[in-house]
């Protein structure tokens, strides 16, 4: 047995788990097994595994003590400063360059962002990058201007008067609004270009890769693909006689040693996966199939979407992007051709976004699905038997219809900031429903939050969307959502019937002309537990409900109007006696929600309160007689019937 491979797999478990306590158990079991098998090198295995575990223990640092920092990266909306051995994101700073020393006038705050399970969270991304605090600069002073090579190169591109400027700012500085292409994340464009040049001038391609990547690291900010190519080329040059398998292991280990969070980096996963494929001695047709088998789960895991059409043409797209990179460099030297490049880039962007719906698979695959897929992929590589191919097809069909194969139902209170969006899904071939579709005047909540959440769940269509009332933070995203996903029915009044669940509107005949008081107030008994979704209904609606439904008892209450004191009175809470209360409000919102009066009322009632601004998305999974809940901040609980 290859024990290096075993240690490699164990290290992967430690990184994925990211729980120091359970990682200690994994380490002890691994040391015991390796000691039993090898009878030696126990200290060697111990050191390797404990180092990986130690590197993953993240301790939130204290706030920086001063406000003088070095600029280490420049983004579109903020700059990254380095001080007190940690990174800080600073907003409202302009006309600064790499390695400038600046002094900021402002206040440090912890980085907070919208958090929903299995979707992008800027807060999580920042922590993986080593940044825990941010600052809005009221004023700043440049204490020392940098004259480094990196600053000079950035200054050249920043002042460039050429249509190809956005292209280079995207490739070299990650200043972008769209998703970075896999070509540039993995560094394939540089490798392929150097490989082609190496054949022409008959030089070792790894020597050229090493020189180019080192020059790139000097001239540009640290990017994964430059570091990856540099380390890989260095290993090939330093150990030319080493077996290719060991070179790949060493390269992958070295990258994780430098930054364990690279495991979550798409460029790392793509690079290591494709390098691993190259170790197998297979025919071109088989290699194409294996590449397809590797890319499908990667797309599903990172993007929750696998466009089979684009994956089929993955190699051609990589070649095209490399040619575009060369063409862009030529456009710098010959400006007249930059106009042609702009048109080609626009065509390429429209082509990359093209997809055929029935050839597109959605949803975050489960761990079991990924394990079975990996096993079948290895079997196809090793044996190429028909039954393994049939297994792959069955897995694809399962993932394609994942929306209808959930064994438990779910009520999810999305974290959309200052607004409401609630997702409800019935189990096993049941229906799906949204209550409200939040909008925002400065953010595209549908594109950035709501649609990615639905895509991660594999939702291809919505059966019902209920709009409680027409305030923008409840209905502003409806039109955009209708452009992104089929919606069979939009409901603004009356009762709602799904396959199993029924929602009764307790405010079906509002008399008030005030929009909030016309909110739908939906009651549902979900597998023995009573839910009440109140929209923005205020005290008058609550009094009406207390009069007409004075024996109504609620298990899970969606607190009205984001915790405003216009609703959720002490009398109403005493009547419905909620066991769990959900508040959907944004961090640092201008309304001061939730109000102290409402928090005090909830505390007096001894209800368990959960707020999306603190816990992120809130998930309630329902099965008979039991409700399980989970938050985006990884808190768990069980609610049983009284």
pLDDT in tens, 87-139: 999 999 989 999 999 999 999 999 999 999 989 899 988 988 889 999 999 99
pLDDT band at 177 (very low <50, low <70, confident <90, very high): very low
User: Distance (Å, rounded) from C-alpha 531 to C-alpha 567?
Assistant: 17
Decide if pLDDT at 349 tops 80.
no
User: Distance (Å, rounded) from C-alpha 285 to C-alpha 198?
Assistant: 26
What pLDDT does 38 receive?
A: 56
Mean pLDDT check: name the lowest of 156-170, 172-186, 280-294: 172-186
Q: Which residues pair with 83 in a beta bridge?
A: 86
What pLDDT does 531 receive?
A: 96
Contact 559, 581 (CB under 8 A): yes
What pLDDT does 1 receive?
A: 45
| Average pLDDT, integer, range 297-322 | 84
Which of 189-203, 310-324, 381-395, 396-410 has the largest mean confidence?
396-410
**611: which residues sit within 8 A by CB, 6+ positions away?**
563, 582, 583, 584, 585, 594
Higher per-residue pLDDT: 262 or 4:
262
pLDDT band at 478 (very low <50, low <70, confident <90, very high): very high
What percent of the chain lies above the pLDDT cut of 70?
85
Which of 307-316, 380-389, 628-637 has the largest mean confidence?
628-637
| Average pLDDT, integer, range 507-530 | 90
**Which spans in 412-500 are helix H?**
445, 451-456, 472-475, 478-484
| Average pLDDT, integer, range 476-480 | 94
Contact 71, 86 (CB under 8 A): no
Decide if pLDDT at 373 tops 80.
yes
**Model confidence pLDDT, tens digit, residues 44-92:** 445 555 555 555 556 788 899 889 999 999 988 899 999 888 899 999 9
What pLDDT does 270 receive?
A: 82
SS3 (DSSP) at 131: strand
What pLDDT does 29 receive?
A: 57
**Model confidence pLDDT, tens digit, residues 586-639:** 988 888 999 999 999 999 999 999 999 999 999 999 987 788 999 998 888 888
| Average pLDDT, integer, range 308-321 | 80
pTM of the entire structure?
0.85
Decide if pLDDT at 474 tops 60.
yes
Nearest to 506 by CA among 482, 530, 484: 530
What pLDDT does 41 receive?
A: 47
Decide if pLDDT at 582 tops 90.
yes
Pairing of strands 139-144, 101-105: antiparallel
User: Distance (Å, rounded) from C-alpha 461 to C-alpha 484?
Assistant: 10
Which of 53-67, 179-193, 455-469 has the largest mean confidence?
455-469
Q: Is 365 exposed, middle or buried (0-12, 13-18, 19+ CB in 10 A)?
A: buried
Pairing of strands 108-110, 131-136: antiparallel
What pLDDT does 550 receive?
A: 82
Burial 324-343 (b: 16+ CB within 10 A, else e): bbebbeebbeeeeebeebbe
Decide if pLDDT at 21 tops 70.
no
User: Which pair of tokens denotes residue 219?
Assistant: 């001239």
Q: Taken in order 191, 195, 201, 207, is the CA torsion positive or negative?
A: positive
**Secondary structure E strands in 544-605:** 556-558, 580-583
**Helical axes 244-258 vs 224-238, angle rounded to 10°:** 140
pLDDT band at 420 (very low <50, low <70, confident <90, very high): very high
User: Distance (Å, rounded) from C-alpha 495 to C-alpha 520?
Assistant: 9
Mean predicted lDDT score pLDDT of the chain: 84
What pLDDT does 43 receive?
A: 46
* DSSP state at residue 268: H
What pLDDT does 35 receive?
A: 56
Decide if pLDDT at 361 tops 50.
yes
Decide if pLDDT at 27 tops 60.
no
**Model confidence pLDDT, tens digit, residues 135-168:** 999 999 999 999 999 999 999 998 888 888 888 8
Decide if pLDDT at 298 tops 60.
yes
Higher per-residue pLDDT: 180 or 334:
334
User: Distance (Å, rounded) from C-alpha 509 to C-alpha 518?
Assistant: 8
Contact 519, 541 (CB under 8 A): yes
Nearest to 583 by CA among 536, 630, 543: 536
What pLDDT does 178 receive?
A: 42
User: What would you report as the CA-atom Rg of the chain, rounded to the nearest whole angstrom?
Assistant: 27
What percent of the chain lies above the pLDDT cut of 90?
45
**Model confidence pLDDT, tens digit, residues 195-250:** 777 677 777 788 888 998 999 999 988 888 889 989 999 999 999 988 887 888 78
User: Distance (Å, rounded) from C-alpha 224 to C-alpha 267?
Assistant: 7
| Average pLDDT, integer, range 370-389 | 80
What pLDDT does 393 receive?
A: 92
| Average pLDDT, integer, range 290-313 | 87
What pLDDT does 181 receive?
A: 54
């Amino acid at each position: 047995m290859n024990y290096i491979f075993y240690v490699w797999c164990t290290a992967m478990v430690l990184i994925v788990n990211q729980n120091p306590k359970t990682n200690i158990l994994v380490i002890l079991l691994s040391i015991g097994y390796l000691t039993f098998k090898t009878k030696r090198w126990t200290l060697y295995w111990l050191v390797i595994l404990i180092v990986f575990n130690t590197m993953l223990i993240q301790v939130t640092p204290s706030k920086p003590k001063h406000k003088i920092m070095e600029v280490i990266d420049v983004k579109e909306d903020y700059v990254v400063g380095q001080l007190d051995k940690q990174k800080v994101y600073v907003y409202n700073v302009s006309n600064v360059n790499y390695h400038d020393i600046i002094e900021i006038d402002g206040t440090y705050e912890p980085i907070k962002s919208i958090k929903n399970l299995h979707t992008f969270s800027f807060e999580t991304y920042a922590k993986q990058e080593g940044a825990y605090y941010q600052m809005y600069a009221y004023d700043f002073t440049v204490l020392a201007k940098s004259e480094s090579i990196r600053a000079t190169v950035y200054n050249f591109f920043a002042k460039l008067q050429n249509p190809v400027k956005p292209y280079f700012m995207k490739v070299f500085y990650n200043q972008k609004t769209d998703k970075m292409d896999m070509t540039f994340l993995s560094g394939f464009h540089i490798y392929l270009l150097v490989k082609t040049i190496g054949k022409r001038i008959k030089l070792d391609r790894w020597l050229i890769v090493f020189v180019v990547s080192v020059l790139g690291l000097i001239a540009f900010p640290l990017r994964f693909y430059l570091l990856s190519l540099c380390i890989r080329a260095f290993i090939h040059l330093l150990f030319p006689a080493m077996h290719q398998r060991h070179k790949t292991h060493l390269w992958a280990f070295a990258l994780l040693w430098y930054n364990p969070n690279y495991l979550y980096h798409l460029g790392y996963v793509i690079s290591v996966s494709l390098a691993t494929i190259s170790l197998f001695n297979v025919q071109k047709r088989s290699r194409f199939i294996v590449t397809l088998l590797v890319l499908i789960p990667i797309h599903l895991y990172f993007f929750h979407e696998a466009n089979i059409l684009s994956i089929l043409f993955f190699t051609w797209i990589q070649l095209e992007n490399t040619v575009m990179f060369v063409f862009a460099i030529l456009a710098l030297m010959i400006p007249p051709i930059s106009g042609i490049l702009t048109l080609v880039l626009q065509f390429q962007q429209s082509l990359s976004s093209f997809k055929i719906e029935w050839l597109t698979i959605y949803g975050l695959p489960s761990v079991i699905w990924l394990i079975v897929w990996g096993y079948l992929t290895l079997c196809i590589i090793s044996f190429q038997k028909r039954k393994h191919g049939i297994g792959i097809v069955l897995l694809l069909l399962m993932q394609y219809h994942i929306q209808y194969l959930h064994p438990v139902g779910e009520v999810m209170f999305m974290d959309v900031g200052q607004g409401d969006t609630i997702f409800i899904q019935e189990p096993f071939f049941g229906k799906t429903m949204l209550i409200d579709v939040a909008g925002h005047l400065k953010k595209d909540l549908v594109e950035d939050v709501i649609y990615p959440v639905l895509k991660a769940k594999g939702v291809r269509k919505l059966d019902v969307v209920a709009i409680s009332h027409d305030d923008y933070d409840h209905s502003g995203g409806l039109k955009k959502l209708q452009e992104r996903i089929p919606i069979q029915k939009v409901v603004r009044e009356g009762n709602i019937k799904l396959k199993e669940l029924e929602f009764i509107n307790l405010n079906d005949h509002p008399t008030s002309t005030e929009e909030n008081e016309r909110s739908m107030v939906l009651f549902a008994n979900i597998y023995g537990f009573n839910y009440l979704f109140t929209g923005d209904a205020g005290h008058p609606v609550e009094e009406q409900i207390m009069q007409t439904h004075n024996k109504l008892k609620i298990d899970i209450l969606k607190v009205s109007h984001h915790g405003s004191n216009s609703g959720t009175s002490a009398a109403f809470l005493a009547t419905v006696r909620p066991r769990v209360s959900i508040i959907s409000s944004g961090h640092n919102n201008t309304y001061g929600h939730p109000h102290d009066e409402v928090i005090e009322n909830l505390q007096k009632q001894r209800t368990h309160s959960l707020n999306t601004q603190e816990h992120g998305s809130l998930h309630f999974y329902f099965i008979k007689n039991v409700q399980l809940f989970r938050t985006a901040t990884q808190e768990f609980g069980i609610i049983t019937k009284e």
